[in-house]
Chain A
């Protein structure tokens, strides 16, 4: 599984802790000050479940609760849900500052794979 970002993002390496902060909406800016747009797959999508457990080391329901809290209390915004991996990839390609995940990125242009440090 690859974590991908729009080519405008300068951060080519981030830690698991940072990835977790980004997906729990506790870090909203990249290191160069640009706003992060976070994309996810539907809550029960197999790839989302794997991403949540393996990459974020969180249970999917924990993420969901954090996002619900933000969305329905006015405190902030949740990630944007795309229906399929293809739609998610397309969204990352066209959205500056965005981040998402795919099964694997095969010679795709217009998006970068980010290295996750443990």
Chain B
């Protein structure tokens, strides 16, 4: 019986894969044939293996997992000289990292409101994708981001679906000056729906009520000096969530969560060497939830430094170190343990990750990537407000991952 069920599941997976390949081939054909420039279609498919030892980042039993699937298809249609429609659908499976399934990454109307030789102003309406941090717009594009798992201090997977974009409006202003270089200003405002699975990932398996994002405002500014290999950026984020308890069966109380974050970043792109770094400080206020009168605002801080070296045209090496703590007045988590009568170990207060990786280009559109992470601490594992020390019972844990990615 079990065999039969498994066989059925495999056959359904095969059908799914077949369906995806047929659609992909069709879209490639459309892409080639669309000589007219008004239509553009692109996409990607990536599959990998990930093995985490000592934490529930991907699964609860630390087994080798194929839950590293990312598929995306997008289209862009130029309606007129200054109006364009664009959309992208992605399918993701990252195990416990985020909710498995299909989502609309973006679906927007792009209005090129003002365009001159030195200025470009675009307004986006609908579901837009954020591009405030160095890799925020490429975090779910396997071949466009620097590693399989991004530095969790900034690109925390538990926040992925809120950080990636929102339903609302965005503005991008680009300016060029021959003496001072390029300036990019971005402003976005909107909200994202919160599913039950996201509530579970963010809050707890036991949260039976409804979580809602009330608002999300983000702003960023980038500067690249004229003909420079350096680029500098800064951003600010302000987001509010609320939680309404399920009166019939809920161990938690109504709550308001408020999140503000500031980041600074720098990027250097040389011929062989590349360097990037981002630092962030965030206030995360929780009012209620654990108890009606609960009100605390820990200030977290995080930083990563990353370097990449192009050994040949095909081979690139990566090295990165990141450090994050949930409360800057409790960097080692001692207070956290004391306040919870020892129920939550100190290592839930921080996260340190040393990563080495390599990526190899097999062809123009096919890349293989491998990486190894040595992690200390459980400060960046879901769920944030209700840690799981029974599953994550080790302060040091490791992971390796390999992923093959194709794009067109």
Contact = CB atoms under 8 A, between A and B. Distances in A.
B37 interface: yes
Given A26-B176, A74-B86, A77-B76, A69 B117 contact: no
Given A57-B227, A59-B271, A73 B137 contact: yes
B387 interface: no
Interface stretch (B106-114, B338-346, B388-396): B106-114
A95 B131 CA distance: 32
Which interface class (under 10, 10 to 19, 20 to 34, 35 or more) fits B? 35 or more
Nearest to A44: B364
B141 interface: yes
A96 to B, nearest CB: 11
Given A69-B138, A69-B144, A72-B144, A18 B364 contact: no
A72 B117 contact: no
A27 interface: yes
A29 B81 CA distance: 10
A115 interface: no
A29 B115 CA distance: 7
Contacts of B144: 65, 68-69, 72
A26 to B, nearest CB: 6
B120 interface: yes
Interface string A6-42: 0000000001011001000011110100010100001
Interface string A39-75: 0001110000000000001010110010011011111
Given A73-B131, A74-B86, A62 B115 contact: no
A75 B172 contact: yes
Nearest to A17: B178
Contacts of A95: 37
Among B86, B105, B310, the most chain A Cβ lie within 10 Å of the Cβ of: B86
B106 A73 contact: yes
Interface in B171-198: 172, 174, 176, 178, 182
Contacts of A62: 269
A74 B128 contact: yes
Contacts of A78: 40
Contacts of B108: 74
Nearest to A24: B182
A110 interface: no
Contacts of B116: 29
A69 B139 CA distance: 10
Contact of B138 (A26, A72, A80, A91): A72
A74 B88 contact: yes
Contacts of A71: 40, 42, 74, 76
Given A59-B269, A68-B138, A69-B138, A74 B178 contact: no
A67 B40 CA distance: 13
Contact of B72 (A26, A44, A72): A72
Interface in A74-112: 74-78, 80, 91, 95
B91 to A, nearest CB: 15
A82 B226 CA distance: 29
A74 B124 contact: yes
Contact of A27 (B37, B72, B117, B269): B117
B323 interface: no
A73 B117 CA distance: 23
B135 to A, nearest CB: 10
B42 A74 contact: no
Given A35-B81, A44-B313, A74-B129, A28 B120 contact: yes
Contact of A74 (B110, B227, B269, B271): B110
The 9 A-B residue pairs with the shortest CB-CB distance in the complex, in nearest-first order: A73-B137, A74-B106, A74-B86, A68-B144, A72-B141, A73-B129, A29-B115, A37-B37, A71-B42
Given A29-B117, A69-B137, A69-B138, 16 more contacts: A18-B117, A29-B115, A35-B81, A59-B270, A61-B269, A62-B269, A68-B144, A73-B106, A74-B74, A74-B105, A75-B110, A75-B122, A75-B124, A75-B129, A75-B131, A78-B40
Interface of B: 35, 37, 40, 42, 44, 72, 74, 76, 78, 81, 84, 86-88, 105-106, 108, 110, 112, 115-117, 120, 122, 124, 128-129, 131, 137-138, 141, 143-144, 172, 174, 176, 178, 182, 226-227, 269-271, 310, 313, 364
19 contacts: A15-B178, A17-B226, A26-B182, A29-B115, A35-B81, A57-B227, A59-B271, A61-B310, A65-B144, A69-B144, A72-B72, A72-B138, A73-B131, A74-B105, A74-B110, A74-B129, A75-B122, A77-B40, A77-B84
